[in-house]
């Protein structure tokens, strides 16, 4: 079985279907002007489906469609339909900002999508607008309830917690998720990309997020799904659902990281904080066979030694971390 240098298999593939996004979240990609990937360089659905099939042959069991904003890619439901038929794939998910979900909910369900993750950092419309720079909370909530009405389940809500911005929204979000049967997941603010101006002062740790929730709604730890998921899950002691916390900064989970990423322009990226990708699109477009592409992916994965978050924690503890010292691929390009 395919293993990297730390004996980690490849199980989870995150496919960025476009780098474009109709939001400009301050913690992700706040720039109004950006050099987008040229349309001709973006993988076609056929190319994505072929690569997805090859990754499944190498051990991938779960695929997440992401971006940028995946729903701005025209006819995304056609790709969902194709991937949901993929032999050997156990789980297909999509992560969205929800802005176009109301109009896409029926088509996504019909295409075979069974579950979805939606980013929701606050329930305050003004704050929502200022955090996303362009987003309309009402539209997003409409989309959220549209997928609920379609029966997608579970519906997970992701909130990036930033000190002084939305850390006072944690309990409101928990109450909202409990009331409507959504699974809330809080994500430590990370230094992704090169433009969000991350500083450790704006980080709210998993420990602090846990304590704030636990004081109001007592929790019991359940652990990581399959032992390797980014989120540590907790159930509410009163039985009203679950909440997860993703502690990439304070409790890195590199040791069990089995995630590969495919950029919208067909590069294989082996870590969220990578500065380089490995060109698969070139291989596809030069007419290489499946066996040759499998060999290439195998050679990349067997040399993989990424453990960026673990190294960052060591550097933070030694007060020697400078997020700007390392140029990264933007999150909108490689897929969150
Ligand atoms: N546009 C979609 C969305 O927002 O859900 C999908 C792509 S987005 C890059 C994927 C996830 O990355 C979102 O849940 C977002 O909150 C998260 N994310 C973006 N920037 C982050 C940061 N600086 N720290 C932690 N998570 C971040
Ligand atoms: Fe926000 Fe997602 Fe767009 Fe990043 S890709 S700016 S997180 S909506
Ligand atoms: Fe995986 Fe890289 Fe994140 Fe570590 S920092 S968990 S290796 S993506």
Question: Looking at the DSSP assignment, which residues form a beta bridge with residue 220?
Answer: 235
Check pLDDT > 90 for residue 333: no
Check pLDDT > 80 for residue 325: no
Tokens, residue 21: 């996004």
Pocket of ligand 1 (CB under 6 A): 21, 27-28, 66-67, 69, 95-97, 119, 158, 160, 187, 189-190, 192, 196, 331-332, 336
* Stretch 223-248: mean pLDDT: 94
Q: What is the CA(78)–ligand 3 centre distance, in A? A: 30
Sole residue written with tokens 């969000």: 196
Residue 58 sits at φ, ψ, to 5 deg, of -90, 0
Q: Ligand 3, residue 272: give the atom nearest the CA.
A: 8
Domain with 52 in it: 12-334
Q: What pLDDT was estimated at residue 199?
A: 86
55: left (phi over 0), alpha (psi -120 to 50) or beta: alpha
Q: What is the CA(175)–ligand 3 centre distance, in A? A: 31
| CATH number where 232 lies | 3.20.20.70
Q: What is the CA(311)–ligand 2 centre distance, in A? A: 26
Q: Which ligand is nearest to the CA of 306?
A: 3
Task: Please work out whether the CB of residue 161 comes within 6 Å of at least one atom of ligand 2.
Answer: no
Q: How confident is the model at residue 259 (pLDDT cuts 50, 70, 90)?
A: very high
Q: Ligand 2 atom 1: the closest Cα is on which residue? A: 25
The DSSP line for 205-254 is: -HHHHHHHHHHHS-EEEEE-GGGT-SEEEEEETTSS-EEEEE-TTTS--G
Q: What is the CA(26)–ligand 2 centre distance, in A? A: 9
Task: Please work out whether the CB of residue 329 comes within 6 Å of at least one atom of ligand 2.
Answer: no
DSSP 38: P
Q: What is the CA(19)–ligand 2 centre distance, in A? A: 10
* Stretch 64-80: mean pLDDT: 97
Provide CB contacts within 8 A for 289, sequence distance 6+: none
48 lies in a domain?
A: yes
Check pLDDT > 80 for residue 244: yes
DSSP 266: S
Q: What pLDDT was estimated at residue 320?
A: 79
Check pLDDT > 90 for residue 192: no
For the chain, what percent of residues have pLDDT higher than 90?
Answer: 84
120 lies in a domain?
A: yes
Q: Which ligand is nearest to the CA of 195?
A: 1
61-75, 179-193, 318-332: which has the minimum mean pLDDT? 318-332
Q: What pLDDT was estimated at residue 179?
A: 97
Q: What pLDDT was estimated at residue 317?
A: 87
**Mean pLDDT across the chain:** 95
Q: Ligand 3 atom 4: the closest Cα is on which residue? A: 254
Check pLDDT > 90 for residue 316: no
Q: What is the CA(46)–ligand 3 centre distance, in A? A: 28
In three-state secondary structure terms, 51 is helix
Q: What is the CA(336)–ligand 1 centre distance, in A? A: 5
Q: Which ligand is nearest to the CA of 65?
A: 1
Check pLDDT > 80 for residue 196: no
284 lies in a domain?
A: yes
Q: What is the CA(97)–ligand 2 centre distance, in A? A: 7
198 lies in a domain?
A: yes
Q: What is the CA(91)–ligand 2 centre distance, in A? A: 23
Number of domains in the chain: 1
Check pLDDT > 90 for residue 129: yes
103 lies in a domain?
A: yes
Distance (Å, rounded) from C-alpha 298 to C-alpha 9? 11
Q: What pLDDT was estimated at residue 266?
A: 98
327 lies in a domain?
A: yes
Q: Ligand 2, residue 67: give the atom nearest the CA.
A: 5
Task: Please work out whether the CB of residue 323 comes within 6 Å of at least one atom of ligand 2.
Answer: no
Residue 336's alpha-carbon distances to 122, 158, 316, in angstroms, are 19, 11, 23
**Which of 94, 120, 132, 190 should be mutated for ligand 2, with most atoms under 8 A from CB?**
132
Q: What pLDDT was estimated at residue 323?
A: 76
2 lies in a domain?
A: no
Between 215 and 228, the more confident residue is 215
* Stretch 39-51: mean pLDDT: 97
Q: What pLDDT was estimated at residue 221?
A: 97
Between 118 and 321, the more confident residue is 118
Q: Which ligand is nearest to the CA of 305?
A: 3
Q: What pLDDT was estimated at residue 298?
A: 98
DSSP 217: S
For the chain, what percent of residues have pLDDT higher than 70?
Answer: 99
* Stretch 136-155: mean pLDDT: 98
Task: Please work out whether the CB of residue 335 comes within 6 Å of at least one atom of ligand 2.
Answer: no
4 lies in a domain?
A: no
What's the full length of the chain, in residues? 336
Residue 162 sits at φ, ψ, to 5 deg, of -120, 125
């Amino acid at each position: 079985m395919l293993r990297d240098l730390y004996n980690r298999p490849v199980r989870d593939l995150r496919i960025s279907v476009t780098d474009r996004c109709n939001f400009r979240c301050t913690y992700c990609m706040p720039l109004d002007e950006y050099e987008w990937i040229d349309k001709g360089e973006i993988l076609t659905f056929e190319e994505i489906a072929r690569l997805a099939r090859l990754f499944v042959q190498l051990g991938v069991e779960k695929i997440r469609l992401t971006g940028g904003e995946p729903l701005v890619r025209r006819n995304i439901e056609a790709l969902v339909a194709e991937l949901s038929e993929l032999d050997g794939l156990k789980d297909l998910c999509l992560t969205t900002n929800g802005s176009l979900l109301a109009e896409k909910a029926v088509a996504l369900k019909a295409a075979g999508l069974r579950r979805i993750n939606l980013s929701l950092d606050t329930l305050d419309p003004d704050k929502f607008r200022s955090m996303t720079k362009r987003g309309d909370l009402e539209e997003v909530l409409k989309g959220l309830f549209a997928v609920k009405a379609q029966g997608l389940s579970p519906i997970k809500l992701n909130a990036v917690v930033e000190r002084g911005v939305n850390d006072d929204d944690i309990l409101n979000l928990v109450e909202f998720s409990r009331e409507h049967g959504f699974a809330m997941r809080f994500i430590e603010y990370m230094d992704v990309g090169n433009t969000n101006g991350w500083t450790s002062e704006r980080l709210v740790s998993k420990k602090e997020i846990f304590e704030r929730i636990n004081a109001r709604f007592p929790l019991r730890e359940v652990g990581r799904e399959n032992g390797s998921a980014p989120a540590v899950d907790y159930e509410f002691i009163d039985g009203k659902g679950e909440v997860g916390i993703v502690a990439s900064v304070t409790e890195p989970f590199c040791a069990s990281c089995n995630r590969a990423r495919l950029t919208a322009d067909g590069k294989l990226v082996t870590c969220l904080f990578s500065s380089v990708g490995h060109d698969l699109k070139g291989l596809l477009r030069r007419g290489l066979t499946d066996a040759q592409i499998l060999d290439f992916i195998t050679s990349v994965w067997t040399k993989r030694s990424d453990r960026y978050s673990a190294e960052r924690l060591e550097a933070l503890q030694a007060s020697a971390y400078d997020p700007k010292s390392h140029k990264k691929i933007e999150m909108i390009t490689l897929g969150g």
